[in-house]
Amino acid sequence: MTQTLVLGVLALSGWCVRGSGPPPRLLQAARPPGLQGAALFTESYFTQTLDHFNFNSYGNGTFRQRYLVADRYWRRGHGPLFFYTGNEGDIWDFALNSGFITELAAQQGALVVFAEHRYYGKSLPFGDASFQVPEVGLLTVEQALADYALLISQLREQLAATRCPVIVFGGSYGGMLSVYMRLRYPNLVAGALAASAPVLSTAGLGEPTQFFRDVTADFQSVEPQCTGAVRGAFQQLRELAEDQDYGAIQKKLSLCQRPSSPQDVSQLYGLLRNAFTLMAMLDYPYSTHFMGSLPANPVKVACQTMLRASELLTNLRDAAGLVYNASGQLGCLDLYRLYVQCADPTGCGLGPNSWAWDYQACTEVDLCFHSNNVTDMFPPMSFGEEQRRAYCSQRWSVLPRPRWLRTQFWGDALSTASNIIFSNGDLDPWANGGVRKSLSPSLIAINIPGAAHHLDPEGSNDADPESVVQARRTEAAVIAQWVKAERTRLA
């Protein structure tokens, strides 16, 4: 579930204090310079509990959890708290690509908090050792939710805001966490906006061909001949690989290294499939630098590239270059530096954030999708439970727990919950792994025509389709009702 930057390799940093320590506290830090849109936020650190559920494993150990605060619009002591449940990446990436939340805060007088997920960005419990075994074992959904619950509680007390309603927000995996916060901590959270949240498929309730079938459908809907061109390019690539004509593959696709084995060819398939996946997810009507740099309407641009009169493999290279070589400055594509295979066949990204997501995909988050060249346009690449178990045992010394999120967080039995918005764009290949039909008057599904992954949490843009504008209006109205009801309850 590639939310990490495509080419972003982040330096490891973090802190851990073992033994007895002070109670959780808030530490102020300077706002980082040079980030567009960062002026709204102040970066701070919270002394967070290391292990919420085992009092012996790490004693009273703590670590520094990063979070961002925007209080420009807050009606102090009265306005709601809008809390973003950070996902698998640096929290600044999400704060700077979720402008709808601050726009809504301006309307409703809210305090905005973006909390970084443990083991991501700078919130590394064991610093440089965070991804060693067994230290990585404290990376779980449950620990992350408890982090957020404790941070919310402490913020409300420190800011004299215990009567201020809390609404949680999140997109993609962060949207899943928002759902789980409402389920697990309804005493703290009055409602949740879960954008592009595949709560069903990641709980093992999905269909393994769904994701890449829906990626293919995005390209098919733009230009019916496009998927045929992609299939044809992959067919030519397969024939060259079968003939072991690795020199031709290197030349036609401008690879930095000459492939020399079936493993290299599989890596190449994964790199190319990942490019089309990202373009489908981020098929925004304007250019974006979220999860990489892409032009406006990248699916359309890729199809135009694939349907040029020139040679198919050259077109395939250039289409993939929209993701991997947006600047046009790379003279070649490095197979193993631009893409890393992991326990998430939809992509983990690169750098330390990708290690954390790989571990989560090896434990609780079920992402067993595969392509088959029948229901989709990609080469057959399987990834089932048996392959997942083998990989995760070798990489992390763990065995996955299939359907664990279904057990822990209700799976498809959500009808007794309340106050959750499930928003999904119909261009998003993750959409059909989420809730597409309203389950009750307060469990509301909003389906957004013409919208891709995580588009409605983005800030307003002149290029937004009317469907996105209307979805945000509906979300704002529902959230205002939740805030009003919760304020009455707390009075």
Q: Which of 283, 316, 341 is the last residue of a domain?
A: 341
How far apart are alpha carbons 286 and 219 in whole angstroms?
Answer: 17
pLDDT of residue 4: 41
Total domains, the chain: 2
Residue 258 has pLDDT above 60, yes or no: yes
pLDDT of residue 310: 82
Q: Which of 290, 317, 341 is the last residue of a domain?
A: 341
172 carries an active-site annotation: yes
pLDDT of residue 1: 72
In a domain, 352, yes or no: no
CATH of the domain at 240: 1.20.120.980
Are residues 253 and 186 located together in one domain of the fold? Answer: no
Are residues 303 and 332 located together in one domain of the fold? Answer: yes
In a domain, 191, yes or no: yes
- Which residue is catalytic, options 123, 344, 453, 467? 453
Q: Regarding predicted confidence, which is higher, 25 or 13?
A: 25
In a domain, 403, yes or no: no
DSSP collapsed to 3 states, the chain: CCCCCCCCCCCCCCCEECCCCCCCCEEECCCCCCCCCHHHCEEEEEEEECCCCCCCCCCCCEEEEEEEEECCCCCCCCCCEEEEECCCCCHHHHHCCCHHHHHHHHHHCCEEEEECCCCCCCCCCCHHHCCCCCHHHHCCHHHHHHHHHHHHHHHHHHCCCCCCCEEEEEECHHHHHHHHHHHHCCCCCCEEEEECCCCCHHHCCCCCCHHHHHHHHHHHHHCHHHHHHHHHHHHHHHHHHHCCCHHHHHHHHCECCCCCCHHHHHHHHHHHHHHHHHHHHCCCCCCECCCCCECCCHHHHHHHHHCCCCCHHHHHHHHHHHHHCCCCCCCCECHHHHCCCCCCCCCCCCCHHHHHHHHHHCCCCCCCCCECCCCCCCCCECCCHHHHHHHHHHHHCCCCCCCHHHHHHCCCCCCCCCCEEEEEECCCCCHHHCCCCCCECCEEEEEECCCCCCCCCCCCCCCCCHHHHHHHHHHHHHHHHHHHHHHHHHC
Are residues 190 and 122 located together in one domain of the fold? Answer: yes
pLDDT of residue 59: 77
Are residues 413 and 433 located together in one domain of the fold? Answer: yes
pLDDT of residue 491: 85
Residue 20 has pLDDT above 50, yes or no: no
Residue 36 has pLDDT above 60, yes or no: no
Question: Range of 257's domain?
Answer: 209-341
Are residues 178 and 275 located together in one domain of the fold? Answer: no
- Which residue is catalytic, options 264, 428, 456, 464? 428
pLDDT of residue 2: 54
pLDDT digits (tens, 9 = 90+) for 277-318: 999 999 999 999 887 789 999 999 999 999 998 899 999 999
With a pLDDT cut of 90, the percent of the chain lying above it is 87
Tokens of 341: 């295979």
Are residues 148 and 132 located together in one domain of the fold? Answer: yes
In a domain, 308, yes or no: yes
pLDDT digits (tens, 9 = 90+) for 365-409: 999 999 999 999 999 999 999 999 999 999 999 999 988 999 999
Task: Give the orientation angle of helix 210-222 with respect to helix 298-306, to 10 degrees.
Answer: 70
Sign of CA dihedral 202, 204, 206, 208: positive
- What Cα–Cα distance (Å) separates residue 136 from each residue in 288, 305, 419? 32, 42, 33
428 carries an active-site annotation: yes
pTM: 0.92
Sign of CA dihedral 473, 107, 175, 354: positive
Q: Which of 290, 315, 341 is the last residue of a domain?
A: 341
pLDDT of residue 408: 95
- Average pLDDT of span 447-454: 97
Tokens of 485: 């009801």
pLDDT of residue 57: 82
Under the banding of pLDDT at 50, 70 and 90, the label for residue 37 is: low
- Average pLDDT of span 225-233: 98
In a domain, 105, yes or no: yes
CATH of the domain at 109: 3.40.50.1820
Are residues 78 and 182 located together in one domain of the fold? Answer: yes
Residue 160 has pLDDT above 50, yes or no: yes
- Which residue is catalytic, options 44, 98, 130, 172? 172
The phi, psi pair for 233, rounded to 5°, reads -65, -45
Are residues 176 and 48 located together in one domain of the fold? Answer: yes
Are residues 333 and 266 located together in one domain of the fold? Answer: yes
The Cβ of residue 78 has, within 10 Å, a number of other Cβ atoms equal to: 12
Are residues 148 and 240 located together in one domain of the fold? Answer: no
Residue 424 has pLDDT above 60, yes or no: yes
Are residues 86 and 69 located together in one domain of the fold? Answer: yes
pLDDT of residue 462: 96
In a domain, 385, yes or no: no
In a domain, 250, yes or no: yes
Under the banding of pLDDT at 50, 70 and 90, the label for residue 88 is: very high
Are residues 51 and 200 located together in one domain of the fold? Answer: yes
pLDDT of residue 290: 81
In a domain, 367, yes or no: no
- Average pLDDT of span 464-486: 98
